[in-house]
C-alpha cells in the first residue's frame, strides 16, 4: 500500500460509518477529491465531533436518522460536484474550499422535524452534577487555577475609573470620607443627614469622570470589593483636606448648625485579593500594602457616598 493509499484509508476511517459506503461508491476522481477535503485540518477538526454527535443521536431518533441519511446522500452530491469542478479546470484549493463549506453546513445543521431544522442543544447539568464537578476540582492537587472564578465576570462589570479607585485603595490604604448632618443646639437630640459619604477618592485616583464617582463606589460595594466603615481613620490629618472641599463646605453652609461625621472607605478581603490577582504585576503580589479593616458581620455600613 502506498503512502497516499494509507492516508486515504485513515481519512476514510475518520468518516462517520453512515457516510463511508457513500464515499466508497464514488468514482475514482471524486473519491480522491473527497479524501483531499478530509486532509484539510480546519474542516476535519471542525466537523468530526459534530458529525459523531449526529450519528449518536441517530441511534435513538428516527427523525435524526432520516436527516443523517439525507445528508449523506447530499454529501455524495457535494463530492461529485467537487470532482467535476477539478476535472473542468477549477483550482483544487478553490474547489476544496467550496466543498468544505458545503459539507460543514450539512454537519452543523440539526435534524429536520416537520420541515424545520432543530439545533442540537446539550441538556443543562443539574445543580448536583455541577456541585460534584466543583468538588472534584477541589480534590485535584495538580490544578494550577488561580484567583476566584468570579473575577473574570467582575472585570467585565468594572469601568476603567473603578479600576483606578481599587488601585488607590490597595496602594494608599483606606480613604477618608465625611457625612454632613444637622447638629442643633446642645441638648437637642434630633439630627438629619445633609450629605453622605463626601470624599476625595475620585481626584486622588485620577478618575476621568469625577461626577460618576458616587456611582463607581456604589458599584464596587455591590460587587463586594469595598465597604463603607462608620469608623474614622486614626490620623485626623487625613480629614483636613476633605473637609475643606467645596462640596463639604456647601453642605455645611446649607444648614444652621452643621456637624461633620468622619467615616472611611476600605477594601474588603475579597477586594484586596481581587486587586492582587488582577490589577498589579505578578512580581508585586507578595508586596506589603497598607492594611484595611475587616467589615464586621451584619454591618451594612453608613449611608452610600454622595460625592467624589
| Rounded Cα distance, 109 and 37, in Å | 19
> 264, 233 in Cβ contact below 8 A?
yes
Contact 266, 186 (CB under 8 A): no
* pLDDT at residue 20, rounded to an integer: 54
pLDDT of residue 223 exceeding 60, the answer is yes
Tell me the C-alpha distance between 216 and 193, whole Å: 21
Please say whether the beta carbons of 154 and 148 come within 8 A. no
Q: What is the mean pLDDT of residues 79-97?
A: 61
- In the chain the first and final C-alpha atoms are separated, in Å, by 78
HEC profile of 230-252? CCCCCCHHHHHHHHCCHHHHHHH
| Per-residue pLDDT reduced to its tens digit, 206-216 | 999 999 999 99
Q: Is 229 helix (H, G, I), strand (E, B) or coil?
A: strand
pLDDT reported for residue 241: 94
pLDDT for the residue 107: 46
Q: What number is the average pLDDT over the span 89-118?
A: 55
Cα gap 308→62, rounded to integer Å: 65
At residue 301, the pLDDT reads: 57
| Of the candidate ranges 56-60, 79-83, 102-106, the one whose mean pLDDT is the lowest | 102-106
pLDDT digits (tens, 9 = 90+) for 238-272: 999 999 999 999 999 999 889 999 999 999 999 99
Instruction: Please give the CATH topology (third level) of the domain spanning 151-284.
Output: Translation Initiation Factor IF3 (3.30.110)
Which residues pair with residue 113 across a beta bridge?
116
> How much is the mean pLDDT over the chain?
75
Chain-centroid distance of CA 218 in Å reads: 21
The Cα 198–Cα 200 span in angstroms is 7
Region 25-45: mean pLDDT is: 50
Summarised one tens digit per residue, pLDDT across range 162-203 is: 999 999 999 999 999 999 999 766 555 678 899 999 999 999
Query: In whole angstroms, what is the distance from residue 116 CA to residue 22 CA?
Result: 25
Residue 78, pLDDT above cutoff 90: no
Give, for 75, the enclosing helix (H) or strand (E).
helix 62-87
pLDDT surpassing 60 at residue 222: yes
User: CA dist 178 to 229, 233, 308, Å?
Assistant: 11, 11, 11
pLDDT band of residue 43 (cuts 50, 70, 90) is very low
Quick one: cell of 12?
476514510
Residue 195: the pLDDT is 94
Q: According to the model, what pLDDT value does residue 146 have?
A: 66
Q: Among residues of the chain, what percentage have pLDDT more than 90?
A: 39
The pLDDT of residue 54 is above 90: no
Q: What is the mean pLDDT of residues 123-143?
A: 75
pLDDT, one tens digit per residue, over 111-132 is 555 545 555 566 788 878 887 8
Given a contact cutoff of 8 angstroms between Cβ atoms, the answer to whether 179 and 263 are in contact is yes
Alpha carbon 229 to chain centroid, angstroms: 31
- The answer to whether the pTM exceeds 0.85 is no
- Among residues 302, 178, 169, the alpha carbon closest in space to that of 238 is found at 178
pLDDT at position 75, please?
58
- The mean pLDDT value for 219-228 works out to 96
Cα gap 88→120, rounded to integer Å? 38
pLDDT higher than threshold 60 for residue 25: no
Q: What is the pLDDT of residue 294?
A: 93
Is 230:302 a contact under the CB 8 Å cutoff? Answer: yes
Give the domain ranges of the chain: 3-117, 151-284
Instruction: Report the C-alpha gap between 120 and 220 in whole angstroms.
Output: 39
Amino acid at each position: 500500500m502506498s503512502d497516499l493509499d494509507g492516508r486515504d484509508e485513515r481519512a476514510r476511517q475518520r468518516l462517520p460509518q453512515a457516510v463511508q459506503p457513500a464515499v466508497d461508491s464514488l468514482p475514482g476522481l471524486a473519491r480522491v477529491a473527497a479524501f483531499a477535503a478530509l486532509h484539510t485540518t480546519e474542516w476535519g477538526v471542525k466537523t468530526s465531533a459534530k458529525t459523531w454527535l449526529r450519528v449518536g443521536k441517530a441511534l435513538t431518533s428516527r427523525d435524526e436518522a432520516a436527516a443523517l441519511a439525507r445528508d449523506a446522500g447530499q454529501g455524495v452530491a457535494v463530492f461529485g460536484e467537487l470532482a467535476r469542478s477539478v476535472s473542468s479546470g477549477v483550482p483544487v484549493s478553490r474547489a476544496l474550499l467550496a466543498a468544505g463549506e458545503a459539507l460543514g453546513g450539512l454537519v452543523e445543521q440539526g435534524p429536520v422535524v416537520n420541515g424545520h431544522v432543530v439545533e442540537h442543544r446539550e441538556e443543562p447539568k443539574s445543580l448536583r452534577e455541577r456541585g460534584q464537578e466543583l468538588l472534584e476540582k477541589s480534590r485535584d492537587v495538580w490544578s494550577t487555577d488561580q484567583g476566584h472564578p468570579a473575577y473574570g465576570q467582575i472585570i467585565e462589570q468594572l469601568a476603567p475609573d473603578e479600576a483606578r479607585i481599587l488601585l488607590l485603595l490597595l496602594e494608599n490604604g483606606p480613604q477618608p470620607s465625611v457625612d454632613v448632618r444637622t447638629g442643633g443646639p446642645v441638648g437637642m437630640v434630633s439630627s438629619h443627614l445633609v450629605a453622605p459619604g463626601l470624599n476625595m477618592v475620585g481626584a486622588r485616583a485620577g478618575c476621568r469622570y469625577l461626577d460618576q464617582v458616587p456611582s463607581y463606589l456604589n458599584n464596587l460595594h455591590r460587587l463586594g470589593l469595598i465597604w463603607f466603615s462608620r469608623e474614622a481613620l486614626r490620623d485626623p490629618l487625613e480629614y483636613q483636606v476633605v473637609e475643606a472641599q467645596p462640596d463639604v463646605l456647601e453642605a455645611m453652609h446649607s444648614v444652621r448648625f452643621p456637624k461633620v461625621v468622619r467615616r472611611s472607605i476600605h477594601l474588603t478581603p475579597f477586594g484586596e485579593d481581587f486587586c492582587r490577582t488582577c490589577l498589579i504585576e505578578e512580581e508585586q503580589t507578595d508586596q506589603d500594602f497598607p492594611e484595611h479593616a475587616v467589615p464586621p458581620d451584619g454591618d451594612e455600613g453608613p449611608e452610600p457616598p454622595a460625592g467624589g
